[in-house]
Structure 1
């Protein structure tokens, strides 16, 4: 499922953005070997400071498994300031109705092959659908993307082929880069949906995204050894998950605290999560 994080709501999604930057580091730095800026296991650049829109895919386990960055072309953007050699001397496009799409990636370690919901193909299509639908709602007509020949073939066979290219393909470090143009249209979105078999609304609400992400992170330490939960442990997990107020959470806390012989301090923290994680859920 998709959540769009932009300059307006990014203060709510700092943890999700942090996991997204870690995914980008693993993909662009570790797997692809791009010359990107990685600090503390996170890949960020100057364009992330311009409040772009990040289209982020979160799976049912609450993990970030895909993303794409959308940036207006009226100001600084990669096509104008990094990859301008592709344009063969022509000026870059600058229009409020043309956005730049960059930093697309998916988590190949968590996603499998094929066409299922947890596949690379599915999440790729989901991110594309979310990006184009979000852009259309903002009045965007076209998207420009710097891609390599491999990604170009992926787009062509997934109902999302570029309708034009700018300039000519050029070697950029370890890859060949090309500038592809794609219209933000109902027809394009329909083609991607038909290819992936995605008919439902792909967007999560902000509350749903925060709850899914926070709950998965707060409960993960409780079962790191993958042992089945006992009935009592399952009961407390359900109570914490169902809590909607601080009073309800504290009532569960008091009950757990009476069971000192059953749960260690670490297990209690794992079951209850952190105050920050809980704050995301209410």
Structure 2
């Protein structure tokens, strides 16, 4: 699913933006070796302070799996202020209907956890392309200029989303070369990408639906004070005369929590602990510990 975060709704989605900046640090700083500034594990630059629009892809649990930034070319932007070497001395293109798209990346690490990793990466990439193109078209943007590397250029071509032109020339930037490409935001282009990926549904999720998903995820990962104390007690070695929890139940609960692969699995394991704490085991054992 895709959500667009801009100056109008960024206050509601600070958690998503934070996760996105961490993803950018891993991709552009660690993997690609670009000369980007990373502070506390987050890649944020001066253009993020200009209230750009972020098109962000989420998985079913609400985690950021892809992102791209859209910025007007009538003011400061990366091609005019950072990547001007790509332009070979020519002035940057500027127009109210031409926006710059940068920081396109996909979280291959998260998506490669299962056996269908390549399919998941391809779908996430195409969904982000569709989302960014449709957002641009609906916003009155006719064309996108984007700084990409040869790998992304090949991905665009394979997904029937090839640039219609290039500006300047390819130059080495960090570990990989970079180039400036032009894409039109037409229905024809969007339809080609949809046909390639087999995506016909609306890729966008509403702000309210995404916020509800994120809130439920946070609730699933939280525990009450009693459960937190119980978990702490469970992890400590126990004296034989103070049986905080029968060993078989303790080991079962710990195994369920540690083996949880999704937020839903963890929530179910914690609900079991909540029942044990609230209904039967915790009050009696807590008293024994307190008296001991």
- Counterpart in 1 of 2:278? 259
Residue segments in structure 2 that go unaligned for 5+ positions in a row: 224-255, 284-292
Shift of 1:158: 0.5
Residues 1-282 of structure 1 aligned to structure 2 (within 5 Å): 1-112=1-112, 116=119, 119-220=120-221, 224-226=257-259, 233=271, 259=278, 261=280
Q: Which whole-Å CA distance do the structure 2 matches of 1:182 and 1:156 have between them? A: 11
- Counterpart in 2 of 1:247? none
TM-score (norm 2): 0.77
Rate the CA distance shift 1:183–1:40 in 2: closer, same or farther, 3 A: same
Query: What count of residue pairs does the alignment treat as equivalent?
Result: 243
Shift of 1:35: 1.5
Please identify the structure whose Cα radius of gyration is greater. 2
On the 8 A contact 1:6/1:54 being kept in 2, the answer is yes
Secondary structure of 2:30 counterpart: helix
Rate the CA distance shift 1:115–1:98 in 2: closer, same or farther, 3 A: same
Q: Which whole-Å CA distance do the structure 1 matches of 2:203 and 2:269 have between them? A: 34
Q: Which whole-Å CA distance do the structure 1 matches of 2:79 and 2:270 have between them? A: 56
On the 8 A contact 1:115/1:196 being kept in 2, the answer is no
Q: Which whole-Å CA distance do the structure 2 matches of 1:224 and 1:30 have between them? A: 31
TM-score (norm 1): 0.80
Q: Which whole-Å CA distance do the structure 1 matches of 2:74 and 2:19 have between them? A: 28
